[in-house]
Structure 1
Amino acid sequence: MSWKKAFHNWDEFEQLNELNRQELDEIKLDKTELEDHFYKYIEFGTAGMRGVLGVGTNRLNEYTIRWVSEGLAQYILSQGKLAVKRGVVIAYDSRHFSQEFAYIAASVLALHEIKAYVFESLRPTPELSYAIRYLKAYNGIMITASHNPAQYNGFKVYGEDGAQMTPSAVAAIVANLEQLKGRELTLAAVDTEMAIEQGKIKVISELVDKPYLCDLESVVINDSLIRKHGNDVGIVYTPLHGTGGVLMPQVLEVAGFTNVEYVTKQMNPDPEFSTVNSPNPENIEAFNYAIRVGDEIAADVLLATDPDADRLGVAVPDSNGRYQILSGNQIGALILNYVLDQRKQSGLLPHNAAVVKSIVTSDIGRKIAAHYDVAMFEVLTGFKYIGEKIAQWQADKKFVYQFGYEESNGYMLKAFTRDKDALQAGLMFAELTLAYKQAGLTVLEGLEKLYDQFGYYSDEVVSLTLDGMQGVAEINRIMTNFKTTPPQTVADLNVVVIEDFAKQTRTDCLASTITTLDLPQADVLKFYLEDGSWFCVRPSGTEPKIKFYYCVSADTAMKAADKLMRIKTAVTMLVQ
């Protein structure tokens, strides 16, 4: 269907809601804008779908939410009566229309007699993952756009294991959605209030909160340290107007951290995220308010979670008392080293212990794991792949999971959830900050010790945002160029290995041999240089971006930073 035909269908639909009608009338005379709203259907992938709120098939609105909910409903129906009976758990964050979208999804499912559990108010993504397993549901839905700006929302779908859906399940839903194209405006749903009265939709709260909080307590490793000295570490926490404010205060308090200050202006849900440009805890700007509070109390650590509380950001004071944000790789390295060290000291580190990181996460994790004789596994980007490893090891007993993480500030310590969990990670980072303080060290001094031991790693992610049809074409052009004419040298360093995850091949450029990669297909390229550095190129699965990941190491911080700059500059020239 052409974009003009799609636009005509929406324009002629008399029951179009008032908000969408108003926006449609405003853009009617702007051909470029109309085309962007209607030239395609918003894409559904392994991370569900995420996009800008607005009118049209390429936007998030009540009609595209009905469309994707119907596609999921048909998938569940195809899985049999037990899947229908087990039902779906639905949670949502603080974004515009999140609660409305949650109940639209529940009402579509209820039409097909599929049980729907909906949280009474906003809850974190990791609790949604937990709830699926706890309630033995067949699927889960999280209405969120994670750390994206306020104009976005999204629809994440989870499997019965609490992890995001497998590629085969996603393919089945996508096939359903193809058949439903053109019908999004007229898809039916039951009356929500009636469905609640009839028990087809069940509103839940403490039913899951209490057991989830109880399991979060088990994340603590050195309980006696916290009980004795929990008041000695100063903590500032902000949920950035999101779901973390619902549970994180209880998590820290119950664990024994009593010297905690909260960023008052950011504790309340706010769909506009009005105190930040973007609610992304990877960015120092998101910490502006937390830094003010930290300065007042001389806090040892600032913790921030994104709107759905699956990502954790951390800032810590330097020797001059100025707060420095830690990268996702640095946070991961610190947690990994602390967890393995504490478990080894206490005799709780199994002989077959294993940790997992994504292929775009810093290699310092490999050295840390090797130091403790712990196996390190790499997976594609996406916590569902970490979840697959956990399920595999629980079945074959070959390894015992200890920790999984991604450079994008996602961490999971205990497997009672199967997605990144900022509440787990925040609790653990508070504990390791206290442990360093009791040892007479700041967090940055602890990080410096890791670098002294394992090498100075400098890692960075550079994102290039390319919106609209032209943006998609440009992203495809960049990926095609790297595939068809791969660089032989970068910053005067020879490219020695190229991994093409779409082809599932590993090319040794020196030996002129090609071997098969033992990972699923993905549109990702990774280039290894002769000195051990690497860079990786991949389109984002959730945003109109192409991302460039870099990892270098050297024997000093200055040398590592210089090498990183030279490689980044060379890759940028290749892109241009």
Structure 2
Amino acid sequence: MSWEQVYEQWVSEENLPEVLKNELAELKHNPETCEDAFYAPLEFGTAGMRGIIGAGINRMNIFTIRQATEGLARFMDAQNLETKKRGVAIAYDSRHMSPEFAMEAAKTLAQHGIPAYVFESLRPTPELSFAVRYFKAFAGIMITASHNPAAYNGYKVYGEDGGQMPPADADALTAYVREVENPLKVEVLSEEAAKTSDLITIIGEEVDTAYLKEMKAVTINQNLIDEMGGDLKLIYTPLHGTGKMLGEKALTQAGFKQFMLVPEQSVADPDFTTVKSPNPEEHSAFEYAIRLGEKENADLLIATDPDADRLGAAVRLPNGSYEVLTGNQLGAIMIQYILEAHKQAGKLPENAVVLKSIVSSEMATAIAEKYQTKMVNVLTGFKFIAEKIEQYEQDHSQTFMFGFEESYGYLVKSFVRDKDAIQALVLLAEVAAYYKKQGKTLYDGLQDIFAEYGYFKEKTISVTLSGIEGSQKIKELMAKFRKEAPSEFAGIAVSKTEDFKALTSRTADGQVEALTTPPSDVLKYHLADGSWIAIRPSGTEPKIKFYVATVAETQEESDNKLTAFEQAINKITE
């Protein structure tokens, strides 16, 4: 069917909600936007789906939610009866339509006789991961668009280990989702039946209590917090999202007494009215926290994104201003503290392991090596970290200490199997207390790390290419890099090229080795000076990302290299 025919199919649907009927009428007068909404189904991949809220098959609405959940239900129907009885845990964040989407998913599952455990109100993504394990559910659904702007929402599926579904299961699920040709015809339990159905269980406080009990293990040195918890001044902003309730309770439980929440951003708000984008990676997201931090002379500012799986932080500089750290810098600071604290306590396991993505900083590797701790690199996507944790728990080959991605995702303890900003919030506060006891800030701690391991600096360059043409342009760029492989960047030779789609590692002199990761559309260029550049299309947004990493003996030299690499990439993508 053409997009025009699909549009007419929606217009003629009798049971369409009034808000979608009105939007369809408006779309009729804007052919370009209408085509974008109906030209192809919203892509459902290994990370689920994410898109603009609205009418159409390429939008987030109750029908695309039903379609995705119908695919999950059919996937579960193909399992045995005991598997179906385990059910699905469902949580949602503070975005527009999130509660409605969560209940539509539950009603779709119930139509198949599958139980659903639905949170009573908004909860963080890591608590959904925890809930899957707590209820021994077969799967989990998280309604969230992470740190995207207010117009978006999304749908993520979790496996029985509490991690996002691994590739094999995700591919099987995707196939079932794509079998559902017409989302308008997916049957769901009626509103009346849903209110009395024993297949839909509303959950909340019981899971919160169980999660917070596990949170106690995140603290490494309770004596340190008992001593410094009343002195450390911390500002925390949940950026209008889900982090407030659990974050506040977790900090109090750990023993921190001098933290303040940014009042304007502590209220759940689907429009994120105080920020352009609720993304803790961006300096602008810290505007209100910085204002309050300067007033209170705070040691540390922390922000979590709307579904509280990512965490960003700003540290106080010697002149009293604040600097937002990168995800790589925060990862390095936390790894350094975790390994040092365990070593001092005589509790660093001989088989300790740290996990990170292939596009995260090698500064973390240098730190791990000092503590004779193994560093394992996995593909981008926290599900690959979760897979390794599961493997280690089964074969006891390694003891998990920490996992992180440069995109501000961290995990300290494995009772959750996805990024957990609540865990990172409590740990980073402990690290700040550790430095404060020495008369230092986290900024000082980072400078100590640079002085010992070298000046590592990284930057992610995201090029947004929206719509039909954008999607094609991203594919063409990846094909171009594979066909015309660069031999140098900014005058520095490429010493090795890793193609994670072809699963090959090729050195400049022609030696080829096989890569052992699952296939992924990523290219990584290792340069002769220890720097590297990686390229990959985003799995959840219409972007192609360039990851640039440098290392040098001085900060100035590292900065200069980064600028030169960025200029070289800009020329390539012009």
TM-score range, shorter chain: over 0.9
Match of 1:134 in 2: 134
Q: Give the drift of 1:372.
A: 0.2
Matched, 1:503 2:502: yes
Q: Aligned pair in 2 of structure 1 residues 168, 192: CA closer, same or farther (>3 Å)?
A: farther
- 87-96 vs 565-574, which deviates more? 565-574
Counterpart CA distance in 1 for 2:201 and 2:234 is 37
Counterpart CA distance in 2 for 1:349 and 1:38 is 55
Match of 1:343 in 2: 342
Match of 2:567 in 1: 569
What one-letter code is carried by the residue in structure 1 that aligns with 2:368? A
1:509-548 equivalence runs, <5 A: 509-510=508-509, 512-548=510-546
1:452-467 equivalence runs, <5 A: 452-467=451-466
Match of 1:442 in 2: 441
Q: Give the drift of 1:96.
A: 0.2
Counterpart CA distance in 1 for 2:288 and 2:569 is 35
Counterpart CA distance in 2 for 1:196 and 1:280 is 36
Counterpart CA distance in 2 for 1:532 and 1:236 is 37
1:331-410 equivalence runs, <5 A: 331-410=330-409
Q: Deviations over 1:336-391 (max 9, x none)?
A: 00000000110111001000000000110110000000000000011110011111
> SS where residue 279 of structure 1 aligns?
coil
1:79-478 equivalence runs, <5 A: 79-181=79-181, 183-478=182-477
TM norm structure 2: 0.99
> SS where residue 376 of structure 2 aligns?
strand
Q: Give the drift of 1:29.
A: 2.8
> SS where residue 229 of structure 2 aligns?
helix
Contact 1:458 1:552 in 2 (8 A): yes
Runs of 4+ that moved beyond 4 A:
none
RMSD of aligned C-alpha atoms? Answer: 0.9
What one-letter code is carried by the residue in structure 2 that aligns with 1:377? V
What one-letter code is carried by the residue in structure 2 that aligns with 1:294? G
Match of 2:70 in 1: 70
Q: Deviations over 1:307-341 (max 9, x none)?
A: 00000010011111001100000000000000000
Counterpart CA distance in 2 for 1:6 and 1:360 is 40
Match of 2:31 in 1: 31
Counterpart CA distance in 2 for 1:350 and 1:323 is 36
- 76-85 vs 351-360, which deviates more? 76-85
> SS where residue 232 of structure 1 aligns?
coil
Counterpart CA distance in 2 for 1:5 and 1:509 is 52
Contact 1:103 1:192 in 2 (8 A): no
Counterpart CA distance in 2 for 1:142 and 1:69 is 12
Q: Give the drift of 1:197.
A: 1.9
What one-letter code is carried by the residue in structure 1 that aligns with 2:527? L
TM norm structure 1: 0.99
Counterpart CA distance in 1 for 2:364 and 2:474 is 30
Aligned length: 574
Counterpart CA distance in 1 for 2:151 and 2:324 is 26
Q: Gaps spanning 5+ residues in structure 1: where?
A: none
What one-letter code is carried by the residue in structure 2 that aligns with 1:459? E
Contact 1:109 1:116 in 2 (8 A): yes
Counterpart CA distance in 2 for 1:236 and 1:192 is 42
Counterpart CA distance in 1 for 2:311 and 2:179 is 39
Match of 1:557 in 2: 555
Counterpart CA distance in 1 for 2:488 and 2:90 is 49
> SS where residue 241 of structure 1 aligns?
coil
> SS where residue 164 of structure 2 aligns?
coil
Q: Deviations over 1:3-31 (max 9, x none)?
A: 12211211222322111111111121322
Contact 1:281 1:287 in 2 (8 A): yes
Q: Gaps spanning 5+ residues in structure 2: where?
A: none
Counterpart CA distance in 1 for 2:381 and 2:143 is 18
Contact 1:266 1:275 in 2 (8 A): yes
Counterpart CA distance in 2 for 1:344 and 1:249 is 29
Counterpart CA distance in 2 for 1:248 and 1:530 is 44
Counterpart CA distance in 1 for 2:551 and 2:535 is 19
> SS where residue 101 of structure 1 aligns?
helix
Q: Deviations over 1:456-489 (max 9, x none)?
A: 0010001001110010011111111101001111
Counterpart CA distance in 2 for 1:338 and 1:196 is 49
Q: Deviations over 1:263-289 (max 9, x none)?
A: 111111000000000000010100111
Counterpart CA distance in 2 for 1:570 and 1:247 is 44
Q: Give the drift of 1:525.
A: 0.5
What one-letter code is carried by the residue in structure 1 that aligns with 2:454? G
Counterpart CA distance in 2 for 1:192 and 1:10 is 22
Contact 1:95 1:150 in 2 (8 A): yes
What one-letter code is carried by the residue in structure 1 that aligns with 2:437? Q
Q: Give the drift of 1:515.
A: 1.1
What one-letter code is carried by the residue in structure 2 that aligns with 1:176? Y
Q: Give the drift of 1:194.
A: 2.5
Contact 1:124 1:243 in 2 (8 A): yes
Q: Aligned pair in 2 of structure 1 residues 118, 192: CA closer, same or farther (>3 Å)?
A: farther
What one-letter code is carried by the residue in structure 2 that aligns with 1:106? A
What one-letter code is carried by the residue in structure 1 that aligns with 2:53? L
> SS where residue 141 of structure 1 aligns?
strand
Contact 1:196 1:202 in 2 (8 A): no
Contact 2:66 2:108 in 1 (8 A): yes
Counterpart CA distance in 2 for 1:193 and 1:270 is 29
Q: Give the drift of 1:207.
A: 1.6
Counterpart CA distance in 2 for 1:415 and 1:171 is 25
Contact 2:315 2:322 in 1 (8 A): yes
Q: Give the drift of 1:419.
A: 0.2
Q: Give the drift of 1:193.
A: 4.6
Q: Give the drift of 1:2.
A: 2.2
Contact 2:166 2:387 in 1 (8 A): no
Contact 2:349 2:399 in 1 (8 A): yes
Contact 2:74 2:176 in 1 (8 A): yes
Contact 1:350 1:400 in 2 (8 A): yes
Q: Deviations over 1:404-462 (max 9, x none)?
A: 00000000010000000000001000000010010111111110000000000010001
What one-letter code is carried by the residue in structure 1 that aligns with 2:435? Y
Q: Aligned pair in 2 of structure 1 residues 349, 192: CA closer, same or farther (>3 Å)?
A: farther
Counterpart CA distance in 1 for 2:390 and 2:345 is 26
Counterpart CA distance in 2 for 1:269 and 1:190 is 29
Contact 1:305 1:312 in 2 (8 A): yes
Contact 2:457 2:550 in 1 (8 A): yes
